[in-house]
Structure 1
């Protein structure tokens, strides 16, 4: 159910006169498409005063003063797709955290298609003007710009805080697709950026007991559909016939994401760019090659932090609480040393 959202900075020059969409008691005008993926499309929409009174969100902080929101439309053609949409809605309803994208409204309707009735789901979210972390990293790579060490850790800590909310549920949930493309970033003038983890289309109960080869193969097939290859944990590439899978699959993805925040690309994408090979073999080896970075370079402690999370053996991989403790230690040391870096 993943769906990419492009940067939004230029989207306020929109085409007027788009169709209207009702989501429960709220009416929106579609201004422009801003993302797509699979059977899903994301639009920039503006709330309209409809015939019925506007039903405001329970949390006033999510009321957009300019009326602009992001609306995800999912075309549902099979019962399996309907189940996935319902799963995404359910997962989103479990979380309430400033670093997790809130689902403000949702509805599933039947619509008249070409000669048949089809189902559509509408999911309403806050809009983030600066787009995804991936958008920003791609733009920085072209200019050979880098985040400062302070910004790297600040962005990363917020992703971890959101993930902790998921991992500490009872039972724990895994996001299963942590990557820069699923992190929205909002630059705030004269402040460090706000990072929000989004897209819970792959989120699921984190702990699974694999007890046969057929179950292992089924998990691998599921992971191939839901977990982006450059950020996928080794146990999801080649699952043993007897295995306990838990939320530490996300910790591997976090390690890859931290590397990407630093260097603009996942470690195993970079390795493949240096030599021929496969993402699976690169990931399962756990061997990390370091891309050229800023000058002065990032501290060794940051690289060691990445390697700690990219532990192929699940039992030795840290949990989210350990990761956050280490982030705070690095931030404290940074403050004591006064080393923030001369990059962005």
Structure 2
């Protein structure tokens, strides 16, 4: 099926969210394994996530499909996510990949599609739990929320204080990462060749200047190569850059959080050495970091600044607030005032839910909060925050 045809099916599936509406479930082969596509789980940008079933053992898995039209989303960037999985596997609170493949569109050799096979978590994610609380007028038991957030903190600690692996485990991890990089480079080269996108001599000087300006950002696409020069056991920090309730899956035990979507993972710190790099980092954040949870330094990246792991701490705080209140603090404030979300973030404009309103005062504010099913007091917000900080 051609590129236009498969794109049309993805769009149709995104509207229906139900593939059983079609005469038969589509089939897909990844390397030597065959899968039945059951339904669409989610989408975003160039990617779609499907629920699939392994035909050999009936196991349910999640399949992430990333379209890579050359010049928009390179295979190297798409496979950065797979490469990132090799860093932290195995970790009980960080998702791992099961398999991946890079496929070429038959009708357009320059267009590639990356398939990443991931575990499927039937309980969904933290955002699903928040939505259920709002609908059912319930709230998280404090102990359960503590357990969930402690697991997320452990996942972030593994990223922020990552130790370069040595010995057999480190060599094995590096071999996997090198294979991913080679696959990505090969696919990108094939795409470039098919598009005959070799720069002319008169353009090479300008291209060299552009490459030099973007050097810092391009290094981020090779997450394991950022470890070069660091001895085994040495620290190489990474920032997730897209912490939000929707990226925290819940394991089947109902207690273990699993941090997912490592496509935005970047070595930390990242010095912003030029205006060009600042704009590229800002554009990448706009595409990959969800606005209500995005740190202010990613909204307006300044030349001479440094982007580091603090962006994850900011997002984690917004996520905790959302679990207790129902939405990000800046999203709540933006809805209340009718102001711009980005201005609320950059101005640090947020509030705790009004305690007087929750004690029974009448008025439009009370109706709005009660309508959201919020039963949170300032005291409880501060109490959980203090205890989490103590754990970390």
**TM-score when scaled to structure 2?**
0.66
Task: Flag the 1:244–1:117 CA change in 2: closer, same or farther, 3 A.
Answer: closer
Q: Which has the higher helix share?
A: 2
SS at match of 1:131: coil
State the match for 2:134 in structure 1: 141
Alpha-carbon distance, 1:201 to partner: 1.2
Residue 101 of structure 1, aligned match among 71, 88, 95 = 95
Residue 391 of structure 2, aligned match among 299, 303, 327 = 327
Aligned mates of 2:283, 2:384 — CA distance in 1: 30
Aligned mates of 2:19, 2:157 — CA distance in 1: 34
Task: Flag the 1:12–1:78 CA change in 2: closer, same or farther, 3 A.
Answer: closer
SS at match of 2:282: helix
State the match for 1:258 in structure 2: 320
Q: Is the 8 A contact 1:14 1:32 kept in 2?
A: no
Residue 123 of structure 2, aligned match among 130, 139, 146 = 130
Which one is further off, 165-174 or 72-81? 72-81
1:77 lines up with 2:77 in the alignment: no
Aligned mates of 2:272, 2:70 — CA distance in 1: 28
Aligned mates of 2:96, 2:23 — CA distance in 1: 27
Q: Is the 8 A contact 2:27 2:34 kept in 1?
A: yes
Q: Is the 8 A contact 1:149 1:298 kept in 2?
A: no
Instruction: Map residues 1-344 of structure 1 onto 2, 5 A cutoff.
Output: 17-49=24-56, 66-79=58-71, 80-96=73-89, 97-113=91-107, 118-169=111-162, 170-186=235-251, 188=253, 193-291=255-353, 295=375, 297=376, 300=379, 302-303=381-382, 326-327=390-391
SS at match of 1:171: coil
Give unpaired runs (5+ residues) of structure 1. Answer: 1-9, 50-64, 309-322, 329-344
Q: Is the 8 A contact 1:103 1:125 kept in 2?
A: yes
Once superposed, what is the RMSD of the aligned Cα atoms? 2.7
Alpha-carbon distance, 1:302 to partner: 3.7
Q: Is the 8 A contact 2:103 2:112 kept in 1?
A: yes
Task: Flag the 1:187–1:87 CA change in 2: closer, same or farther, 3 A.
Answer: closer
Q: Is the 8 A contact 2:69 2:110 kept in 1?
A: no
Q: In the TM superposition, what whole-angstrom CA distance separates every residue of 1:288-310 from its partner, at most 9, and x where no partner exists?
A: 31235755x4573643765x8xx
Q: Is the 8 A contact 2:19 2:25 kept in 1?
A: no
Q: In the TM superposition, what whole-angstrom CA distance separates every residue of 1:107-130 from its partner, at most 9, and x where no partner exists?
A: 1121313x6663211100110112
SS at match of 2:153: helix
SS at match of 1:269: helix
| Structure of greater Rg | 2
Task: Flag the 1:11–1:160 CA change in 2: closer, same or farther, 3 A.
Answer: farther
SS at match of 2:351: coil
Q: Is the 8 A contact 1:15 1:32 kept in 2?
A: no
Aligned mates of 1:186, 1:298 — CA distance in 2: 29
Task: Flag the 1:243–1:153 CA change in 2: closer, same or farther, 3 A.
Answer: same
Q: Is the 8 A contact 1:104 1:126 kept in 2?
A: yes
Task: Flag the 1:72–1:14 CA change in 2: closer, same or farther, 3 A.
Answer: farther
Give unpaired runs (5+ residues) of structure 2. Answer: 1-16, 163-234, 354-368
Alpha-carbon distance, 1:136 to partner: 2.0
Alpha-carbon distance, 1:152 to partner: 1.6
Q: Is the 8 A contact 1:259 1:265 kept in 2?
A: yes
Give the paired residue count: 284
